[in-house]
Amino acid sequence: MSSANARMRNSPPVGSARDQRLDMFRGLALLMIFIDHAPGTLYENWTSRNFGFSDAAEAFVLMSGIAAGIAYSPQFKAAPFWPGIARIWARARTLYFVHMATTMLALGIFAAAALWFNITAPLHTNNMDVLFTKPLGVMIGLPLLTHQFGYFNILPLYLSLLLVTPAVILVGRRYPWPTLLASVLLWMAAGEWRWNLPNYPNAGGWFFDPFSWQLIFVVGLFSGMHMRQGRAFVPYDRVLFWAAVALVVAVGLWMKIDVLGAFGRDALLAPISHLGFPDYAVWFDKTYLALPRLIHALALAYVLSSIPFVRTIAESRYATPLTLLGRHGLPVFAAGSVLDMLMQAIKSYLGEDPLSDGVLFAAGILLLLGLSWVLDRTKPAKRPAAAGAIVVGPALSTADLVASQP
């Protein structure tokens, strides 16, 4: 491919204020999270976790990093830095209160289901049964984020990463590759020595270990910082692209063909493990973001970001529902999380039935689309940029997905 064509892959049209691919993939990830968080249905067999080592969680964190890099990095070009720091920490504060609100709503839904409809099963799932054995400890742990209900783990991770984002941007602007190396070393240390934030009143640590998951967030953050400048953190390279394609295809076959999956585990990973390689570098642990999950997520992102037709799809009217959801990621995620808990309660009463599950999912998706539509129509008009204000310039490139990940 000519260098001119390569540049076209990595650079969005001049004057484009928003890369629709980022919104489309974010909307798709939100839909998959919505389906996966009401488990035990036929429909979860079609989400991304069935076709690769990684799932929508990696996509969510990666795109959160990209969004942070795009939104916040311009404010750290020159002192004073406090306004930029305050803006990021304000977002973390918002995430904290959204997490607490959705947690309380979930608890209220399960309590109402038990009290009024005798649906008690949900109270013994999702890490909620500790409430009955250690109620005071749970009441302490919930606001401290040391006790998290099942399916309510990702916002605490995100807000903890935002707290250190100003420091990463400030250092990363001058020393991107040393900063990335430090991130890799921290990921390795966390996996090797099981560094994690503590749980209370239960033992153990967070389901999503921030010391491990910071790596994929930092890759996204640097990608977003480069996207803001109309560049790619990892530019298109033909050899790298086809290597990533081969990996994504091979992993897909591994996941869908039992004989290949068994061969991969027994003939590839097991011998590597026996050579003394640590588990986080060989197997599929989610808490510590094991290497196979990380590599698959980055390879998939790089492939998607390097195919020009993906941009065409994202900018077409057919992708409008996904881009609409993606533009309002936090409210859609929060509303979807609460709807999932309601669906879990209903499913405990109805049992497993593809038809009723389909009706529940269809109704939930319509509600989320309706919420996004209302938010889109009622958002306040943007004020004109003041003199000296930073205006989004040429572009958000998604070959930036890993190469500037969405």
The residues spanned by each domain of the chain are 3-375+396-404
pLDDT category of residue 173 using cuts at 50, 70 and 90: very high
pLDDT at 85 over 80: yes
Q: Tell me, what's the pLDDT at 9?
A: 54
Q: Please give the pLDDT value at position 7.
A: 43
pLDDT attached to residue 383: 55
Cα 336 from Cα 22, distance rounded (Å)? 19
Dihedral, CA of residue 215, residue 218, residue 222 and residue 223, to nearest 10: 70
Q: Which residues fall within 8 angstroms of residue 65, CB to CB, at 6 or more apart?
A: 161, 216, 217, 218, 219, 220, 221, 223, 224, 405
Which percentage of the chain shows pLDDT scores above 90? 81
Separation between Cα atoms, residue 104 and residue 92, nearest integer Å: 19
Mean pLDDT of the chain: 89
Residue 150 has pLDDT above 80, yes or no: yes
Instruction: Say how far apart CA 165 and CA 218 lie, in whole Å.
Output: 9
pLDDT higher than 80, residue 392:
no
Q: What share of the chain is helix, strand, coil (3-state, %, to 5)?
A: 70, 0, 30
Give the tens place of pLDDT for each residue, 197-236. Answer: 999 999 999 999 999 999 999 999 999 999 998 888 999 9
What's the start-to-end Cα distance of the chain, in Å?
24
The answer to whether 54 and 62 have CB atoms below 8 angstroms apart is no
Residue pair 225/169 in contact (Cβ under 8 Å)? The answer is yes
Question: In this predicted structure, what is the pLDDT of residue 379?
Answer: 81
Higher confidence at residue 12 or residue 238? 238
Instruction: For residue 380, name the pLDDT band (cuts at 50, 70, 90).
Output: confident
What integer is the mean pLDDT of 84-108?
97
Q: What is the mean pLDDT of residues 122-135?
A: 92
Q: Report pLDDT for 390.
A: 33
Q: How confident is the model at residue 11 (pLDDT cuts 50, 70, 90)?
A: very low
Contact indicator for 202, 147 with CB cutoff of 8 Å: yes
Looking at residues 135-163, what average pLDDT do you find?
97
Query: What pLDDT, on the 0 to 100 scale, is given for residue 230?
Result: 87
